[in-house]
Structure 1
Amino acid sequence: MLFTSFAFQPYIQTALADKGFVHPTEVQEKLIPIISKGKSLIGQSQTGSGKTHTFLLPLFDKVQPEKNEVQVVICAPSRELASQIYQEAKQLASFSETEIRVMNFVGGTDKKRQVDRIANQQPQVVIGTPGRILDMINEQALQIHTAFAFVVDEADMALDMGFLPEVDQIAAKFSEDIQFLVFSATIPEKLRPFLKKYMQNPVIEEIASKTVISDSIDNWLISTKGKNTSHLVYQLLTVGHPYLAIVFANTKQRVNEIANYLKEQDLKVATIHGDISPRERKRVMKQVQNMEFQYVVATDLAARGIDIEGVSHVINAEIPDDLDFFIHRVGRTGRNQLSGIAITLYDPSQEPQIEAIEALGISFEPKEIKNGEIISTYDRNRRTKREKKTQDVLDPTLIGMVKKKKKKIKPGYKKKIQWEIDKSKQQKRRIEQRQKTRQAKKHKKNSSQ
C-alpha cells in the first residue's frame, strides 16, 4: 500500500514525499481510515510504530487554515515528546499554501510571551504538556472549545507521571461530539474510568506486534560476574564502535556515576535525568541530535517519549525495576527497520529478572568481552538443560555416578561411567528383544488354534 491511497490534500502528499515516506506502517494503514471518518479511537501499539503520523496526517487533512480558531489539541506527557510531535506537525504545516498556525505549549518556556502571542490570533493546532495547556486555558488565553479533535498520546505514561487529572480537566472543556483519540502502549486498569467517562463506544484497535521487540534488533546478554559495571560499559562503547549509544541506569545517582567514569576515560558524554532543568535538557537533546555527543547516559525518562534518530546501541547497565521499561529502552534502537544492538548487563543473582524478561517473549544471545572483542559464549542454562536431558535417559544408579563425576575423580573413572552407560543401554535392548520374541511366539500360537 502507498500513502497516495489515502487521498490526502496535495500539500500533505508533498510533505510526505519530502520525508521520504512512501509506504505506511501497519498502524498507519489500519488506523488512518478510522480517524479520517471522524470516529473516536483507542489505539494500542508498541513504541516506534509510527503513531505520530497516524493521527497528524488525517487531522491536518481536516484543518481549515482560514478559520482563526483552535481545531486540534494534542496532549503529550513529556516536554520532549510534545516537542517531537510539534516538529513533525511544523513540517506538515510548512507545505500548506495557506498558513497553518501550530504552537507548542510546554513548561520551561515563557508563559507570558505565549499569552501575548495568542491574544489576537489563536493557533489552529495546539500541542503541549497537560500542565501548560491547562495553565493557558485557565489564563483565558487559549480557547480550545472550538476544537474538533483531542489527542492524548502515551496515555499510560500520563497516568504514571500523575498528569491524568490535568488531562481530565482539559477534556471537560470540549463539546460532547469531540473526536477523542487516545494512544497508549498499554491500557492499565486505572486508565479505564477516564476512558469510559469521555468516550462512548470508541473503536478499539490493538496492533499486536509480531515480536515484542523489533526483529531488526540483536539482543545480547552479558554477565558482569562481579566486574565493575561502569568499566564494562566503557569497554562496550569503545569495542562496539556505536554510531550513537544510549546507556540506561535506574537512578539519577547511578547515571551520574557512569557518566563521570566515562568522562574520566576521555569520552564525551551527555546525561539526561529528572534533576536536569528543562532548558538544559532541551539544549542537550539538540546537541545529541546534532551529533555533538556520541554517548548518552539516561534514566527511564529517555526510555519513553524521547525519539533520538540514529541510535545504534542501547546498553542496559541495570535491569529496570519495571520490566515494561526494558521494552521501551530497547525500542530506542532498531527503529524504522534499521538494525540495532541492545545489550543487557546482569549479575548471576538476577537470573529471576532475566527469566521474567524471557517470559515476555524476548530471547537473548549470550556474549562476553574477551581479548578486546565481543564474542558469543555459552548459554547460561546449558548445564540445567544438559542435566535434564541426562536424567531423562539414565536410571537412578547412573545419575548418581554422573553426579560423582563433578567431584575430584580417580583415573579411569570417566571410562567406567561410559562403560556403565553402554552396559545399561545393552541390557535395555536385550529386554526389548526378549519382549518382541515372546509376543511373536504368542501371536503364532494364537493363530494356529
Structure 2
Amino acid sequence: MTDQTNYFGEFNLKNDVISALTKIGFTKPTPVQAKLIPDILQGKDVVGQSQTGSGKTHTFLIPIFNALKADVEATQVVVTTPSRELAAQITRAARQMSDAMGYEKVSIAEYVGGTDKQRQLRQLSKHQAQIVIGTPGRIRDLVALKALRLTSVSTLVVDEADMTLDMGFLNDIDYIAGAMPEQLQTLVFSATMPEKLKPFLKKYLDNPHFEEIPTTTVIADTIDNWLLATKSKSKELVLDQLLEILNPYLALIFANTKERAKELSQHLRERGLKVAEIHGDINPRERRRVMKDIQHLDYQYVVATDLAARGIDIEGVSHVINDGIPNELEFFVHRVGRTGRNGMSGIAITLYSPDEDAAVVELENLGITFQAMEIRQGEISPIKDRRARHQRVATTNKLKPEMIGMVKKKKKIVKPGYKRRIKNTLKRERQMERRIEQRQERRAAHKK
C-alpha cells in the first residue's frame, strides 16, 4: 500500500518509488518538485529555473526511476552536468534511490573527464548502463567512439544548463542529443536562463513547460548574512580572528582564484589547522579522495574556488566565509547557499576591503541584505548601517538654494541680528533634515 503520510503519493507514483522516498526521508516535495514532477511524469519537456539547493536533482530522479524499465539492458537515461563533483553528487543520489527501491540489477554509470577512459570502453563493450551520468566532454567521447549507444534513450537531462553554457559544453550536448531518438523527453534545469541558451532549448524541446520558481528571499531565512569590513587590516588577519572566535563545526572558505585558494590554505596550515583544498589544480583522483575525507568530517576547514559553489554538496557546513566579493556576482548566492541547508541554521560572512565597496552596493541592489558586523574586544558585534556616516556627511553639507543666498549675504555689512538669524535658520534646517534622515532610517529598519 502507498504510504499515506508521504505527500509524493499525490503524484501517482509507483508504490516502490514512494516507499523508497520514505526510506530516504523524503515526504514533502519542494516547490520545484511540486511544480514539475507531474509534467515530467506525463512525458512533457520541461525547463526548470530555480536557485541552488531547491531539490532539482530529485525533481528528475523521481520520475526517471518511476519510468525505468529495470529488465531492459540498454541506456535509457542520460544526465549531463558541467562538473565532476556534481556528477558524483547526482550519481550518489541515484544509487541511493536504486538501493532504497531494492533494485539489484539497475546499472548506473558515471563518466567524467580525468578518469580511465580505456577502462570505461572495456566496460561498455560488455554492457550498457541503464542510467548514464557524466560530464558532456567524456560522454561525447564515448559516443563518438561508438562505445556508448544512445539509440534507446528516452530521457535526456541537462543539469546546470547556464554553467554548461559558460564552460563551453553546449556543442557537446548538441552532439550527444543528436545521437538520440527523435522521440526524446528533454529536461533542462538551471539557476539562470541566459539568452544564448534559448536556441538550444528551441532546437531540442517540444513546447516545453517552463517554470521559474521564485524565492521569497534571495538568501535563505536560515542563514545569517554578515558583512565584515577589513579596513586597514589584511584579510588573513581578520580571517584568523574570525576562526578563533567562531571555532566552526565545518567552515567553507571561498577564494576568487585558485592562486588565492592556495595562499589561504598555506596560511591556515601554518597556523596548525588541517585544511582541505578544492580547485582546478587538484587532480581528479586527489579531489575525489579529499571529498570523501570531507564527507567523513576529517576536515574542519575547506578552502575552495567557485567550482565548489555549484558542483559540491557538503553536508554540515556551519559557516561560509567569502574572502572577498566573487568576480561573478551571481556566484555569491551559490556560495552562501552552501550553509543553512535542509532547515539547518548557518552563518555566511563576507570580508571586504574598501576597494570592494562598489561590488557590495551592487549585491545590495540585487536584493541581498547584509548585517554589518565588526570584531571588537574579541567578539563579533553588529554595527549601524555602514553607509549611515557617508549619508549623514553628504546630507549635512548640502544646502538648499535659498540658504546659499543667505550665507553669501554674510560677507556683506548687514543689519544687527541678521547673522544670528542666519545661524538659527541654518540650525533649524539641519535639525529638520536630521529628523527626516532618522525617519528614513527607522523605515528602512522596519522594512528589514
Q: What TM bracket, shorter-length normalisation?
A: 0.7 to 0.9
Q: Secondary structure at the match of 2:226?
A: strand
Conserved 8 A contact 2:23-2:100:
no
* Corresponding position of 1:230: 236
Equivalent residues of 1:240, 1:374 under 8 A apart:
no
> Which residue does the alignment assign to 2:210?
204
Deviation (angstroms), 1:387: 4.9
Partner residue of 1:178 out of 179, 184, 191:
184
AA aligned opposite 2:161: A
Distance 1:212 1:425 in 2: 37
150-159 or 384-393, larger mean C-alpha shift: 384-393
Which of 109, 123, 129 is residue 123 of structure 1 equivalent to? 129
Asked if 2 retains the 8 angstrom alpha-carbon contact of 1:217 and 1:334, the reply is yes
After superposition, the CA RMSD in angstroms is 2.4
Out of 93, 96, 111, the position equivalent to 1:91 is 96
In 1: Cα distance, 2:74 partner to 2:26 partner: 30
CA contact (8 A) 1:271 1:297 kept: yes
1:181-260 aligned within 5 A? 181-260=187-266
Three-state SS of the structure 1 residue aligned to 2:106 is coil
Unpaired segments of 5 or more residues in structure 1? 402-415, 427-449
Identify which of 145, 151, 175 aligns with 1:169: 175
1:283-303 deviation digits (Å, cap 9, x = unpaired):
111111110011011111111
Identify the range of structure 1 (200-209 vs 144-153) with the bigger mean alpha-carbon deviation: 200-209
Matched, 1:324 2:320: no
1:398–1:421 CA contact under 8 A, matched in 2: no
- Residue 188 of structure 1 aligns with an amino acid whose one-letter code is P
- The offset of 1:9, in angstroms, is 2.0
With the length of structure 1 as denominator, give the TM-score of the two structures.
Answer: 0.87
- Of structures 1 and 2, the larger Rg is shown by 1
- The offset of 1:305, in angstroms, is 1.3
- Which residues in structure 2 correspond to 1:7-406 (within 5 Å)? 7-98=12-103, 99-387=105-393, 397=403
Q: Residues 237 and 399 from structure 1, CA distance in 2 versus in 1: closer, same or farther, beyond 3 angstroms? A: farther
Cα deviations by residue, 1:74-121 (Å, 9 ceiling, x for unpaired) = 001101000100000001111334421111111222222222223232
Give the paired residue count. Answer: 412
Distance 2:390 2:231 in 1: 19
User: Aligned partners of 1:163, 1:76: CA distance in 2, in Å?
Assistant: 9
Please list every run of 5 or more consecutive structure 2 residues that lacks an aligned counterpart in the other structure. 1-5, 408-421, 433-448
Distance 1:239 1:330 in 2: 20
* Whole-Å separation in 1 of the counterparts to 2:264 and 2:137: 32
CA shift in 2, pair 1:127/1:155, >3 Å: same
Distance 1:238 1:16 in 2: 41
Residue among 7, 11, 18 paired with 1:6: 11
1:172-199 Cα deviation digits (max 9, x unpaired): 1112220010101111111111111212
SS for the counterpart of 1:94 is helix
Amino acid at match of 2:12: A
2:439 counterpart residue number: none
Query: What CA distance in whole angstroms lies between the structure 1 residues aligned with 2:249 and 2:402?
Result: 55
How far the C-alpha of 1:399 sits from its partner, in A, is 13
Distance in 2 (alpha carbons) for counterparts of 1:152 and 1:324? 20
The alpha carbon displacement at 1:394 in A equals 8.2
Q: 2: distance between equivalents of 1:101 and 1:50?
A: 23
Match of 1:440 in 2: none
Q: Go from structure 1 to structure 2 and tell me whether the alpha carbon gap of 1:399 and 1:51 turns closer, same or farther (over 3 Å shift).
A: farther
CA separation in 1, counterparts of 2:404 and 2:208? 64
- Structure 2 residue aligned with 1:447: none
Moved more, 145-154 or 384-393: 384-393
**Secondary structure class of the residue paired with 1:378:** coil
TM-score, normalised to structure 2's length? 0.87
Query: What does 1:402-421 align with in structure 2 at a 5 Å threshold?
Result: 421=427
1:30 to partner: Cα distance:
0.8
For residues 56-90 of structure 1, the C-alpha deviation after alignment (integer angstroms, 9 at most, x for no partner) is 00111000101111111100110100010000000
Contact 2:403 2:426 in 1 (8 A): no
Distance across 2 between alignment mates of 1:71 and 1:420: 79
Measured in 2, the distance between the counterparts of 1:110 and 1:166 equals 20
CA contact (8 A) 1:398 1:420 kept: no
Greater Cα shift, 60-69 or 380-389: 380-389
Question: C-alpha distance in 2, partners of 1:97/1:16?
Answer: 12
CA contact (8 A) 2:324 2:353 kept: no
Confirm or deny: 8 A CA contact 1:70 1:123 kept in the other structure: yes
Cα distance, 1:238 vs structure 2: 2.2
User: What per-residue deviation string (whole Å, max 9, x for no partner) do you get for residues 216-242 of structure 1?
Assistant: 111100111121111211221221122
Task: Work out the CA distance in 1 between the residues paired with 2:160 and 2:201.
Answer: 13
Give the secondary structure class of the aligned counterpart of 2:262. helix
Compared with structure 1, are the counterparts of its residues 399 and 151 closer, same or farther at alpha carbon in structure 2 (3 Å cutoff)?
farther
Distance 1:130 1:424 in 2: 64
SS in 1 for 2:276: strand
Which residues of 2 match residues 434-445 of structure 1 at below 5 A? none
